[in-house]
């Protein structure tokens, strides 16, 4: 009896030891699988000495099962659940899956050269696209693997019979830093971005020999508002496809002050509103995986006016932005790396942005009288512009941003108009759906409809909010 128990214990210990080399983990914000509705499951052999032929065979078996499952409905095959703090556990339905960075040529021997030595990759990453975004904050997540008889999936490998868990999976976070962007084509990456400045002073004035004490108050504010960043039913995204589209039905951008609209004010005193449709093409790397190098084409129909709606310009716009991945990286959230065994490098703690752009706009100008009368057409215009955004973000707390734009006004004999904005910001609140910061900015130049000229230094507070759940992320 004792010998039987000993033999059984030794056999179990041997099984456990054999199973240890394949480390399985769950993570978010993995390059190539980033987004509020994406989770990555990683199968990895950390030590080369552990990557024996037997372990290689086990990892290949995992790949074969997942490859077969990718052609079926993944919902019953990948039961996935999450639990946010102080909430009930919820089922997060998996809509699509993709094996990242490799296909059959990487995971199976070359049939043309059967005598060649075959060694599969030591790491297998699988991207799970959920049908709804993850809840915000730290999550207790669990992923199981199943092969119901009616699903048509092959039998489960032994390594997939146990669930994969992460008790601190990082849900989507509100962007802590205000990313640099030109007002020519604001990228609406969050639902709300609001900033404001109030200046008040008291002074003595004299009229008819009588001294009076009066107060002067100046206020200016900037607003970017897009309640639905992406309408999924009117946007295209097929997992594994390098072409993605984003439809934003309403994007409002407003810059206004309580001063008279003149050449010298604290604000551009302009309002821009309309829909946007963005097309993105992602380049592929040498292993045919999707990289972080891409080209963005932003098409929009906008109505631009001054603050008082006296000068109105309905127009069509097109803008191109090439993005080089290595020069455009956000700060890596440390919560997204829990369970992976990876510690952030210095480069992962520093975000950076370098984005050139060029575009044109075509429209008509209309002028309303005072008091308001019917709009008087002023004529058509064609304008071109070019410039760039640059920025650096130190661990989501302190950031520096620069925007430079040059306009060529076809309606003014190709007159060149310059606009620039430099900003330094310190983020003091960063919550899952809310971020707030203090900023100091220097703004100079003009923007369409070119009614106000700004040359001002402002200091104020910025408030951001995101993850409202009204549509997909952008």
Per residue in 4-55, pLDDT (tens digit) is 444 444 444 444 444 468 899 998 888 778 877 889 999 999 888 888 989 9
Are residues 307 and 296 in contact, defined by beta-carbon separation less than 8 angstroms?
Answer: no
- What pLDDT is recorded for position 220? 84
pLDDT at 339 (0 to 100): 58
Q: By C-alpha distance, which of 319, 186, 199 is closest to 255?
A: 186
Residue scoring higher pLDDT (285 or 371):
285
- pLDDT, greater one: 361 or 115: 361
CB burial of residue 227 (10 Å; 0-12, 13-18, 19+): middle
3-state secondary structure of 181: coil
Beta-carbon contacts of residue 450 (< 8 Å; ≥ 6 apart)? 409, 417
Secondary structure (DSSP) of 36-92: TTEEEEEEEE--GGG--HHHHHHHHHHHHHHHHHTTS-STTTS-EEEEETTS--EE-
Mean pLDDT, the chain, whole residue set: 81
Position 137 pLDDT exceeds 80: no
The predicted pLDDT at position 422 comes to 94
- Tens digit of each residue's pLDDT (9 = 90 or more) over 249-259: 999 999 888 77
Q: Which 3 state secondary structure label does DSSP give 325? A: helix
Which of 172, 62, 76, 165 is CA-nearest to residue 122? 62
CA distance 61 to 23: 15
Q: Is the pLDDT of residue 73 over 80?
A: yes
Per-residue pLDDT, averaged over 66-74, amounts to 89
- H or E element in which residue 8 lies: helix 2-19
Residues in the chain, total? 474
Residues 230-254: pLDDT tens digits?
888 888 876 567 888 999 999 999 9
Predicted local confidence at residue 359, as pLDDT? 95
**Sheet of strand 38-45: strand arrangement:** 22-27, 38-45, 123-130, 94-100
- Is the domain defined by 183-465 classed in CATH 3.40.50? no
Contact status, residue 78 vs residue 65, Cβ threshold 8 Å: no
pLDDT of residue 408: 93
Collapsed DSSP state (helix, strand, coil) of residue 107 = helix
pLDDT digits (tens, 9 = 90+) for 394-434: 988 899 999 999 999 988 887 899 999 999 999 998 877 78
The tokens 């759940």 sit on which residue? 469
pTM over the 0.75 mark: no
pLDDT of residue 8: 47
Q: What is the pLDDT of residue 181?
A: 37
pLDDT in tens, 305-335: 888 888 899 999 999 999 998 888 888 777 7
Given a cut of 60, whether residue 177 has pLDDT beyond it is: no
Spell out the domain ranges in the chain.
Answer: 19-170, 183-465
Higher pLDDT, 94 or 348: 94
Ordered DSSP codes for 209-271: TEEEEEEEEEEEEEEEE-S-SB-GGGS-B-TT-SEEEEEEEEEEEEEEESS-SSSSBSS--EE
Query: Which whole number is the average pLDDT over 116-144?
Result: 86
269 pLDDT tier (thresholds 50, 70, 90): confident
Structure tokens at 321: 């932005």
pLDDT at 85 over 60: yes
Answer whether 241's CB lies under 8 Å from 269's CB.
Answer: no
């Amino acid at each position: 009896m004792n010998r039987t128990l000993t033999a059984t214990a030794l056999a179990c210990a041997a099984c456990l030891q054999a199973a240890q080399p394949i480390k399985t983990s769950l993570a978010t914000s993995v390059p190539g699988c980033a987004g509020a509705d994406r989770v990555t499951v990683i199968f990895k052999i950390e030590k080369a000495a552990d990557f024996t032929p037997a372990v290689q065979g086990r990892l290949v078996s995992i790949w074969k099962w997942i490859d077969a499952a990718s052609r079926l409905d993944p919902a019953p095959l990948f039961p996935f659940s999450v639990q946010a703090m102080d909430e009930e556990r919820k089922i997060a339905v998996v809509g699509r899956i993709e094996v990242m960075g490799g296909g059959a040529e990487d995971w199976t021997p070359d049939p043309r050269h059967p005598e060649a030595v075959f060694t599969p990759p030591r790491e297998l990453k699988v991207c799970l696209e959920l049908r709804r975004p993850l809840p915000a904050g730290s999550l207790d997540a669990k992923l199981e693997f199943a092969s119901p008889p009616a699903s048509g999936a092959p039998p489960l490998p032994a390594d997939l019979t146990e669930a994969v868990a992460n008790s601190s999976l990082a849900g989507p976070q509100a962007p802590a830093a205000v990313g640099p962007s030109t007002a020519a084509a604001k990228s609406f990456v969050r639902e709300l971005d609001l900033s404001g400045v109030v200046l008040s002073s008291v002074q003595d004035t004299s009229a008819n020999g009588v001294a009076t004490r009066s107060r002067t108050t100046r206020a200016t504010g900037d607003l970017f508002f897009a309640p639905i960043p992406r309408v999924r039913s009117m946007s295209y995204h097929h997992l594994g496809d390098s072409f993605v589209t984003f439809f934003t039905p309403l994007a409002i951008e407003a810059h206004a002050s309580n001063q008279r609209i003149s050449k010298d004010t604290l604000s551009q005193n302009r309002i821009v509103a309309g829909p946007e449709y963005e097309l993105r093409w992602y380049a592929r790397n040498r292993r045919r995986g999707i990289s972080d190098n891409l080209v963005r084409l932003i098409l929009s129909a906008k109505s631009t006016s001054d603050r008082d709606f006296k000068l109105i310009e309905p127009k069509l716009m097109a803008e191109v932005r090439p993005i080089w991945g290595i020069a455009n990286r956000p700060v890596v959230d440390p919560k997204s790396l829990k369970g992976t065994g990876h510690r952030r490098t210095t480069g992962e703690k520093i975000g950076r942005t370098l984005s050139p752009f060029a575009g044109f706009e075509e429209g008509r100008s209309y002028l309303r009288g005072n008091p308001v009368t019917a709009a008087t057409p002023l004529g058509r215009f064609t304008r071109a512009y070019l410039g760039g955004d640059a920025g650096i973000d130190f661990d989501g707390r302190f950031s520096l941003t620069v925007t430079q734009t040059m306009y060529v006004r076809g309606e003014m004999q190709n007159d060149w108009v310059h606009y620039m904005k430099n900003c330094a910001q310190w983020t003091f609140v960063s919550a899952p759906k809310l971020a707030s910061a203090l900023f100091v900015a220097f703004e100079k130049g003009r923007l369409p409809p070119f009614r106000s000229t700004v040359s001002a230094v402002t200091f104020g507070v910025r408030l951001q909010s995101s993850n409202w759940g009204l549509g997909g992320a952008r």
